[in-house]
Amino acid sequence: IPPGVAVLGGFTLGHYRDAWRYARAEGVLMAAVTAAVLLWSIGAALALGVVGSIALLIQRTARPHVARIGRVPGTQHYRNVERYAVECQPEVVGLRIDESLVFTNARGLSDEVLARVREHRERVGPPQRVLLLMAPVNHID
């Protein structure tokens, strides 16, 4: 029995569906690694998985997600304006950075913050303050 066929016993479609639902790029990589096991070898699949994971990490780190935030009424908590009912003050640009700050994303992040400030100026008026919520940032290079 070829090694790739022996792996089929652990194959469950639910895991692929979940990966696709929560992180499409991860789901595609998962399917590609499975195909590599079946078509080539476990070694080739392992190499593909490692290289693919590193590529996804670099992509995520290079383009950090920046969310516009507002204060949840009656609390001191700030949340994404696209997902929660929040209060936004017109003189404040509230942003949350969702990734570590490293040399590969510093310029892009700076450009993104400035673009959000320009967008706020055009939409609402000139801001007096920029609030950066950096709790998700776990490393600064």
The residue from 14, 44, 62 where one domain ends is 62
pLDDT at 78: 95
Domain range enclosing 98: 66-133
* pLDDT surpasses 80 at 11: no
Q: Are residues 120 and 71 in the same domain?
A: yes
Domain boundary among 34, 62, 90: 62
Q: Are 84 and 69 in contact (CB under 8 A)?
A: no
**Residue 138 is assigned to a structural domain of this protein:** no
Residue 14 within a domain? yes
Residue-wise pLDDT tens digits, 77-125: 999 999 999 999 999 999 999 988 888 898 999 999 999 999 999 999 9
Residues 6+ apart with CB under 8 A from 105: 61, 62, 63, 64, 99
Domain count for the chain? 2
In a shared domain, residues 73 and 125: yes
Look at residue 22 and tell me if it is in a domain.
yes
Each residue's pLDDT tens digit, 18-36: 988 999 999 999 999 999 9
